[in-house]
Amino acid sequence: MEKVRGDQLYEGKAKIVYATANPEHYLVYYKDDATAFNGVKKGIISGKGELNNRISAHFFELLERRGIQTHFVELVSPREMLVRKVTILPIEVVVRNIAAGSLAKRLGLAEGTTLKQPVLEYYYKDDDLGDPLINEYHIRALDLATDADLAILAEQALKINAILSEYLATRRLKLVDFKLEFGRTTQGEVILADEISPDTCRFWDSDTQEKLDKDRFRRDLGGVEEAYQEIWRRLTGGAE
């Protein structure tokens, strides 16, 4: 019963969140809608919702097995997952291993430059402001999170990076960079939430450096659907 969709609570660019009969759970529906550059570029990536739902579930299950607490409860349908109810912190946590995108531009690094150590960045989740880059001082000054929350975000993000990078390397994929969001449960714990997918990560083929992520959409490289399918195929060897 609890899996039946209740009221729609929130519609974002790529997902819709619904209430369920269980006050501790939400249902997340993954859409095919794609946006880039703070919503300026819009499109549809057909089959994306289903792939991102499955890919995210796959990563959340892997992370749970490795001791990371996530909001993931279970897959409900090809495009829907049941998650723990959390209040999302207004901070996007980005981890980078290789220079790309905004970091390459900001620091004048060639895309593909391996960083000497992972870089952790915070962005203020605010569409009107275009999600500006912030640091711990801004977070404290704006009261976006406590020092205890910040310690969890940094520790968990770096652990997640180590787990995912190692796992993806066995699938001949490089984890270039990715974005995480965390949420507070009704019990007050801060846990990993949102999604982990080709929409929110840069994945490059380890051998050819081919981009297998949303950059194919952002940069009009073609083969967008095929890239998302390829990620799923590498994670599962084609099995469901």
Query: Binding residues for ligand UDP, per CB under 6 A?
Result: 94, 100-103, 131, 177-179, 200-202, 214
* Minimum CB distance to ligand UDP smaller for 34 or for 201: 201
* Minimum CB distance to ligand UDP smaller for 95 or for 145: 95
Minimum distance from residue 172 beta carbon to ligand UDP (Å): 19
Q: Report yes or no: 88 and 36 within 8 Å, Cβ to Cβ.
A: no
CA pair distance 219, 239, nearest whole angstrom? 30
Residues 105, 111, 116, 119: is their CA dihedral positive or negative? positive
* Minimum CB distance to ligand UDP smaller for 61 or for 131: 131
Closest CA to 88 of 17, 186, 19, 183: 183
Minimum distance from residue 81 beta carbon to ligand UDP (Å): 18
Q: Report yes or no: 70 and 64 within 8 Å, Cβ to Cβ.
A: yes
* Minimum CB distance to ligand UDP smaller for 20 or for 156: 156
Backbone angles phi, psi at 124, to 5 degrees: -80, 120
Residue 33 sits at the vertex; the CA angle it makes with 134 and 120, to the nearest 5 degrees, is 25
* Minimum CB distance to ligand UDP smaller for 3 or for 124: 124
Minimum distance from residue 178 beta carbon to ligand UDP (Å): 5
Shortest Cβ contact with ligand UDP: which residue?
A: 101
Residue whose pair of structure tokens reads 């220079």 in the numeric block: 99
CA pair distance 226, 238, nearest whole angstrom? 13
